[in-house]
Structure 1
Amino acid sequence: MKTNLGRFFEDYTLGQTIHHAVPRTLAEGERALYHALYPARHALYSSDDFATHCGLEGSPLDDLIAFHTVFGKTVPDISLNAVANLGYADGRWLAPVYPGDTLRSQSTVIGLKQNSNGQSGVVYVRTTGINQRDEAVLDYVRWVMVRKLRDTPAPETHIPDLPDVVTPNRLVIPEGLDFTQYDFTLAGEPHRWSDYTINEQIDHIDGVTISEAEHMLATRLWQNTAKVHFDATNRDDGRRLIYGGHIISLARALSFNGLANAQMIVALNAGAHANPCFAGDTVRAWSQVLDRADTDAPGVGAIRLRLVAVKHGAKPFALRADDGKYDPSVLLDLDYWALIPK
């Protein structure tokens, strides 16, 4: 048999390292398609001139282009037979990705836990994205629920000890980044690091209604081959599940209205896809300021943000119901660090 059924829960072992096929060279086309799919407008990723005035060699590709590309490489080996992608932690962007860079991915299994029903289990992996110079550009942990195919004994449960937050001293600031000559007019908003207060909440106001066409384009663009996104017969309700990364990028793009100067994502502290999303849903977003930190880079501060994506009609700043579970309207709860001018 030459075709690949993908890995099932019983196919993973603790400490196993998987080198994912196929490397991908990114070009300006990825930027154009990304900006066509999402209302992305952050200046650092839109203008070479703006980026060079901030000390970079040119405009990098959006941080989430790197994330989606690295993530997509892992799908055939990690989540092809997934029930759901459950969460993220301890993620760091380690170097900007520029047009012409080639990325590949590798993952190490760092945790396993079979579910009580014996039909699935949770696999924890640490994934690293590597460029053509063998430099790590991205590193993160995710955990995913994967189906079992065979009736095999449950592995010994091992849940990794993961940090609640990437501490500011672990944030990697791109070499040369300098916001002392930052042009707030061209960036689109006047708000700087000192204008945001801890626990402040920001309603990003705008919304995007998801269509099947753009979702399918996104999953193909990032080569995410998970069956739940492509094959409507894979779910009992006959609907294709919207790729979680699509929701992340939509929410991040919507956050421009209020956070236009939160330019570079440098860490992913935690993340959860709280409820499923389907074509026809309208996505809106809000953010909460969780922390601020100084950096050694000139004019550069770090801001820790909770980004929440919700379905249209959600209560203002809805997050959790009275029972402590996520409100049914919440699609995404993402905790990340971004760099912002001081």
Structure 2
Amino acid sequence: MFNNSDINFEALKRKAYNGRWATLEDGIIPLTAADPDFRMSTEIEQGIIEYIKDGYLSYGPFSGLPEFKKSVAEHFNSGKNGNFTSENVLAVNSAAMGMYMVAKYVLNPGDEAIIFDPVDFLFKKTVDAVGGVLKLCPVDSQTGDIDFEMLISLIGPKTKLISICNPHNPVGRVYSKEILKKISEIAAAHDLWVMSDEIWSDIVYDNIEFNTYSSVSEEAKKKSFTVFGFSKSFGIAGLRIGAVLCNDQEVLEDFTEKSQFNSTIEGVSTLSQVAASVAIDKAKPWFNDFLAHLQSNRDFAYQTLKDSGILTPNHPEATFVIFPKIENGMSSDQFAQHVLQQGKVAIVPGSERWFGKGAEGHVRICFSTSKEILEEGLNRIIKSF
């Protein structure tokens, strides 16, 4: 399972967009967008087929199907130390949409939001989209360590939100309960909201404990939103399904109302919710095998790059991306272009556009593919110099 023979390259060339197989010339290996090369589990496929067998695709409840909300709450409570009820869950069109909705709810134009630097570009994009002002808090580009003095110094009268990425993309850091508690104390002292993007929280290695942000303290529980999605863990990015979780029921009801989810203007495909519920309830054995494969790929990528002399890798505790430092003096964009042209491998440059200023001098390499593809891709990168 999860070998080269398990990948349908013909299907990927037709369907895998977002900088991947369908967008690149033949012969180029994409180690780009964080999306698995493997097909979804047969349980999810069968669940979708079963659901549509009777021929009905009717409106669902505005806030999400009961089975979806129950599955997500249980998923967080059993695996992430959460304390959610079904009513604390809102179905949304992808984690990215959830991030945007939280920014829109918390920020008025001119309000400030603190985000990490480097971090995935969606954090900046969602704040920009609602007229918010960004304040960048540096994190170590190898370890993800947070500069807490800097974090506190960035808080001013217009600050309303701290947005965290846990596990961190692109660094792969899992923030401990102690660190999250510290963030919650700082946020509570200044009456700030916290948005925790936890889309990567299933893909954690070496049995490291993951704590959902709202579980670490009473302060964290009171004024936070958690965002989650299914594209990474279960390979169903095209279904655009995610969730926003909030322990304060009154806040979530207000959030739902203001986000236009209490009408047919918004709301989420029932088919996508069914697929996500089945993923949680029935596809865990598939996922466990996938996680073991990813950990093996993580270890292989780390060792290969460590000995390359061209890139110095970080050691991700989570996610299926690695964020090595460039050692030959090239900029991130130059390095990525060189590798594309000379090595026929597509990777993501650590440029401001994708991850912020703090990412410069790095590249992001995705390893959610077969060992064979990964090995070929990494060898091509190294040999292109």
Normalising by structure 1, report the TM-score.
0.23
Normalising by structure 2, report the TM-score.
0.21
- Bigger share in helix: 2
- Bigger share in strand: 1
